[in-house]
């Protein structure tokens, strides 16, 4: 079933450009949309009964302008609070009961700076890509251009992690695309031009090489940890790998595809959203059938989620699809 958050989006085509899909702990279903080149976007809530989307409005008195339109990430923390990330450089806490957005002000750094920045094109804003919460309740904020921020809520203080040419254990790139916090408390960070890094709750640990000399220096699009402790990595030009932290070995699951997102359902099946397909992967044997193919030429997949009713949702650059997860191979 194909859904358009905004059926007539001729004036705002970004309204149907889906960047993130979230089902919260209360069963509410959300999508975040928008694209800088297209305009439009925003946060939408889905009505499961009527099959319709409603755009979350915000008070015109709030000094946000159009910054809340291009949504890059949605995250629900342990307390049930919804965090909304938008480009170019904003993070909001959303109060569903009042419908108000409260901005979390990031430090006004001018991009990243370090010992070897001379002659480099330093960004002047943060492009916020992801938010997650660690076991201590601190928020981690991934940005494209300014590295990582850790926000300590008790003190309201920020710590920034950036590249430092004099420190080999520092973050390898200021351009962070994605991150995933595994069950041991280790944060896996996928960068645009510096491979995969890991960070514990305290010191930073750089990992260009994952055990068996796998060097992922390509643009890392997706990082995801499964129930078995394996780490799935999708990167431009290499396809998808599964890394076993216990054995320090990695398996090339498939190549010649661009994986933008991973998700594991409660039965243990891993789902991969590529530019063209929804793929089901069995972590036990890495067998993968193509479950569903995006029916429109030129429409590419961004995100995948399997909801509590057993449906797989695929967000693309033009719409949202609901796919029955038990359908036969395409």
Between 14 and 78, the more confident residue is: 78
pLDDT in tens, 5-55: 888 767 777 889 999 999 999 999 999 999 877 878 889 999 988 889 998
Residue 119: pLDDT band with limits 50, 70, 90: very low
Between 151 and 257, the more confident residue is: 151
User: Given this model, what pLDDT does residue 328 score?
Assistant: 46
> CA–CA distance from 315 to each of 41, 72, 138, 264, 294 (Å)?
13, 13, 29, 16, 10
> CA–CA distance from 49 to each of 42, 131, 160, 304 (Å)?
22, 30, 44, 21
60: preceding bond cis by omega (within 30 degrees): no
pLDDT cut 70: percent of the chain above it: 82
pLDDT in tens, 273-289: 999 999 988 877 767 77
User: Given this model, what pLDDT does residue 126 score?
Assistant: 59
Q: Is the pLDDT of residue 84 over 90?
A: yes
Alpha carbons within 13 angstroms on the beta-carbon side of residue 39 total 5
Q: What is the pTM of this model?
A: 0.80
């Amino acid at each position: 079933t194909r859904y358009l958050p905004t059926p007539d989006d001729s004036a705002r085509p970004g309204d149907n450009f889906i960047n993130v899909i979230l089902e919260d702990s209360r069963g509410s279903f959300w999508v975040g949309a928008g694209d800088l080149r297209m305009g439009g976007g925003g946060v939408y809530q889905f009505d499961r009964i009527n099959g319709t989307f409603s755009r979350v409005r915000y008070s015109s008195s709030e000094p946000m302008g159009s910054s809340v339109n291009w949504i890059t990430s949605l995250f629900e923390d342990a307390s049930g609070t919804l965090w909304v990330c938008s480009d170019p450089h904003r993070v909001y806490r959303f109060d569903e009961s009042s419908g108000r957005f409260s901005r979390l002000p990031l430090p006004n750094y001018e991009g990243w700076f370090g010992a070897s920045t001379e002659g480099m094109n330093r960004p002047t804003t943060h492009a916020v890509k992801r938010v997650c919460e660690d076991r201590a309740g601190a928020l981690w904020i991934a940005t494209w251009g300014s590295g990582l921020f850790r926000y300590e809520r008790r003190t309201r203080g920020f710590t920034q992690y950036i590249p430092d040419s004099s420190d080999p254990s520092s973050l390898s790139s200021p351009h962070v695309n994605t991150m995933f916090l595994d069950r041991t408390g280790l944060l896996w960070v996928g960068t645009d031009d510096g491979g995969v890094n890991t960070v514990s709750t305290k010191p930073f640990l750089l990992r260009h090489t994952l055990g068996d000399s796998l060097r992922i220096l390509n643009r890392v699009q997706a990082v995801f940890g499964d129930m078995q402790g394996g780490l799935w990595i999708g990167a431009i030009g290499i396809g998808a790998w599964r890394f076993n932290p216990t054995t320090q070995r990695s398996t090339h699951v498939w190549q010649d595809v661009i994986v933008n997102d991973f998700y594991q359902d409660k039965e243990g099946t891993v789902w991969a959203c590529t530019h063209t397909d929804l793929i089901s992967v069995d972590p036990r044997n890495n067998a993968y059938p193509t479950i569903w193919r995006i029916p429109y030429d030129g429409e590419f997949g961004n995100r995948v989620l399997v909801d509590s009713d057993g449906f797989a949702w695929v967000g693309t650059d033009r719409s949202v699809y609901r796919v029955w997860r038990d359908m036969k191979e395409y």
